[in-house]
Structure formats: C-alpha cells, structure tokens
Structure 1
C-alpha cells in the first residue's frame, strides 16, 4: 500500500554546503502528520528547556552551526552560558538572587550555574533533537546534493527532485523555504521602510519562485510558489536547518570536502546523531542524500 498516496506533503527546506557543492534538505511531512512532527520537535525543546543545568530558552532560535559549537550563540533563559564564579552578590547587582552566578550576572533571573557552554552539552542537545524528529513516523527526510556553486541552480534541481518523488508516490508538495519574508510587525516602522523590506524580500525570493513557475503545469506535483519563512519565527524551519547540518557533516565525513589542519574536520558526534534519522531517510537514497549534477 502506498503510504503517501492522496496526501498533501509539507516540505520544510533549508540549504547548506561548501566549496562547489550546494545541498538542500527537505523535511517532508504528510499534512495529517504535521501535529505529530510538531509534537516531537516541541518535546525536544521541552527537554532542552527543563534540563536543570541548561534551561535553553524555548523561544531561542536553534541554529545548527551555533548549537553544535562550544560556547557559541546565546540559547539560555538567563542570557548566560558561562561557567559560574562565586563573586556576585546583591551589592554587585541589585536584582541578584544571591546564588553563585557568572561574570555576566546570569543569576538575575534566579538561575544557578549554567553548563550549556560545554561541548558535551551541545552534542547532547543536537542528539536529543535528532532523536525526537526520528520518532515521527509521518516524516521523510531527503537531501539533494548538487555539484554547483550556484544556490539557485541547486534549488531548481531540488524542486525537480521533489516533483519527481511526488509524481512517483502520487502525492503533492507545498514548500516552506528558509528566507526573509518581510517584516511581520510594521506598527513601529515608517511606511516607506516597511515597503522597502517587503520589496527586498520579494526580490530575494524571485529565483525560487521562478523555479516553481517553470514546472510544467499539467503534471506538476509541487504546488504554489515557495512560502518563504524566516527561521527565527519557524520551529520546523529550524528543524530543517539542524538536519541539513547533519547531512552536510555526513557528506564531509564521507570525503566530499577535504579535511585536515587547513580545512577543519567533520563533527563525528553530529554525524552519529544524524544517523538516528535512518528510518526516516528517503528510500533508495544514500544516507538520505541524492546526488545530481549542476551547471
């Protein structure tokens, strides 16, 4: 039985890559399974937020490049991720709780020593989120790797990849793509500034819209223009970013790009966590990845 047939799929997509290879990763979820995917993701966010020595802000954007790097980014509710010292008192900070805190006074909201800056914590957080995504049976993960330096070319290949998959599985796909979508709140903006930002967002999205509109109308299964969504405001675009980063690290570990003193090296912990999605990888792909030529 075709488990995809007659369902519309939502695809949350983000790009990655380097040095002559651009990748696009899509999280494909059946419309009737969207609640499951969101539940699994938010359960992961809850685990990061309630870990006593982390307390990752549930509204903080999870960006993979920062999340997986020791000390990078600012994710915690207290606004601080540094090791504690013992020098903070009420005399130092009027709103200090009196507990040990760090030099940037993370105790002002009542939290104690935060250990989220450590590499062990970052690796654990990434693994938790991959594990949570893998629990959603309605999810299919696909990455298209394209030998090109042109992101628009890679996106064109990606959309055609989605369209062919949708034709073969008798489904349809609506794409949500990471990118600026224009201001969401213009209440404090001058009309001219708001109009300029909207126009810029529209221009940035033009190559992606063109790809969709060049699909042959009759048989196409990728429907509508891409819906641009800023990752800061979308949990599942953030999920796509984390998975795209895992696919990128896997490709690096497989020799797609050089490694060593001058080039850095792939993160084995990220690759290991990415493998937890194995049951969700697109059937017939290589670790969830499909290669295509570029131009």
Structure 2
C-alpha cells in the first residue's frame, strides 16, 4: 500500500513526490502509531484528531490547528504559531521515524517553471515504473493512494498505459481527500520535508535537515532521489 503526495517549488520548476508504503498486514499498526500521536497532540495541545495537518500551513504559522496554544509559545501577549506548529511537526516526524513496518521515499525532478505540469506528469510516470520494478522483484502487487479528487486525467493515463499482462500496480491511483486521510497526511509530511531539503532558503531553513534526521532511517535510499 503506497500513499503519495506532491510538493515542490513551482517558481523554480522543482517537482517532488513523497510517499509512505507498507505491506497490507502492517496497515493497522502504522495507522495506530499515527493515531496515538494524534491523540497525544489532542491531550497536550488541543489539536483535534480530525483536524487536517497540512504541513505547509501549520509549520509556517498559517494554520490555526488548535484553540489552546501552550504558554511557552506566547510571549508578551503574542502567540507564536510558527514555533507551535514546528513543535507539532517534531512529534509527527518522530512518529514517522519510529513506526515499525513503515517505508518512506521521495523523488524529484527540476524542469522549466512554465512546464511544471509536464514535469510532474513525467516524474509520476517514471515513479510508477519504478514501483512496478520493485513490486516485480518482490513478486508483489500494490495499490497507490493519492491526495485529490482524481480530476487530473494524466494519473489515470499513466496507469492505463502499463501492460496489463505484467503490471503490478492494481487499478488507477485511488484519490482521497487529504482532510479525511491520516495516511495521506503522513505522506504530505514526507513530501514537504523532501522539498525543504532540496529547495533550501532562509524561510524553510528550520526544516532543512528534517529528511536527514527523521526520514532517512525509514528511506532505503536515505535521501530524495532525482528521477
């Protein structure tokens, strides 16, 4: 089971896909580990378990994920939402690092900013081809789940272009709204962390080592791969 989300930097033409994967018999334990963290965030910070954790929003202080920000993030009457969001991210990153049976990964490609959609489409096609090879080597089948409503037909075209006699990825990508999927939200954190490592600038310097410090332990290739 493979849960994929995208990230990147449109202004520079950088396209990134990050994902989590695990065998179906690990689905329950992976989800349980994440839900345990979500429940802890509710108890300590008042972040509802059902509240979407969209990385780019809460780590940049734009998402109001709680009505009860801790006193340590309030100074002179001002609420420091960025600091709060990054503390929440730290707990989530540690969960990814420690979850048994979980594998993470990421790939990227740099193209022309005006051709970003084409870059993303081609990168996704090559990523699926890589999944196919890996699944064949293990004599396994796989399902891909993605954020979104499935309106972009290029994902469907990629899957249906695979030779049916040999393909290992079952069906088209299954699109799920990230607001209702804890597992897609995990993939979002992987993709965003990969992007922060690849596209370092002063505003995201705080996350430049997130991938190395937390994801690498779960990534067989240890870092985002250019594909």
| TM-score over 0.5 (shorter chain) | yes
Instruction: Indicate if the aligned counterparts of 1:29 and 1:138 stay in contact, CA closer than 8 A.
Output: yes
Written as runs of structure 1 = structure 2, the 5 A alignment for 1:150-165 is 150=118, 151-165=120-134
Which of the numbers 35, 42, 46 marks the counterpart of 1:49?
42
Q: Does 1:135 align with 2:101?
A: no
Could you state the TM-score of these two structures normalised by the residue count of structure 1?
Answer: 0.67
- For 1:215 and 1:47, the matched residues in 2 are separated by 43
The one of 63, 70, 75 aligned to 2:54: 63
Counterparts of 1:214 and 1:234, CA distance in 2: 28
For the pair shown, the structure with the greater C-alpha radius of gyration is 1
In structure 1, runs of 5+ residues without a counterpart are 1-9, 86-101, 103-113, 181-200, 254-258
The match for 1:291 is 226
* Closer/same/farther in 2, CA of residues 246 and 142 from structure 1, 3 Å limit: same
Aligned to 1:36: 29
> SS of the counterpart of 1:159?
helix
- Per the alignment, residue 216 of structure 2 pairs with 278
Contact 2:20–2:105 under 8 Å retained in 1: yes
- Displacement of 1:274 in angstroms is 5.6
Write the deviation string for residues 124-154 of structure 1: whole angstroms up to 9, x where unpaired.
2111101112222211111111233222222
What are the Cα deviations for residues 252-290 of structure 1, in whole angstroms up to 9, with x where unaligned? 24xxxxx4xxxx443334633662222210x2x241x22
Query: Secondary structure of 2:175's match?
Result: strand
- Cα 1:214–1:231 shift into 2, 3 Å: same
State how far apart, in whole Å, the 2-side matches of 1:37 and 1:274 are: 21
Q: Does 1:73 align with 2:42?
A: no
Shift of 1:228: 0.5
1:27 aligns with 2:20: yes
- 3-state SS in 1 of match to 2:17: strand
Matching residue of 1:169? 138
Please identify which structure carries the higher helix content. 2
CA contact (8 A) 2:97 2:217 kept: yes
Number of aligned residue pairs: give it.
Answer: 217
Query: What SS does structure 2 have at the residue aligned with 1:172?
Result: coil
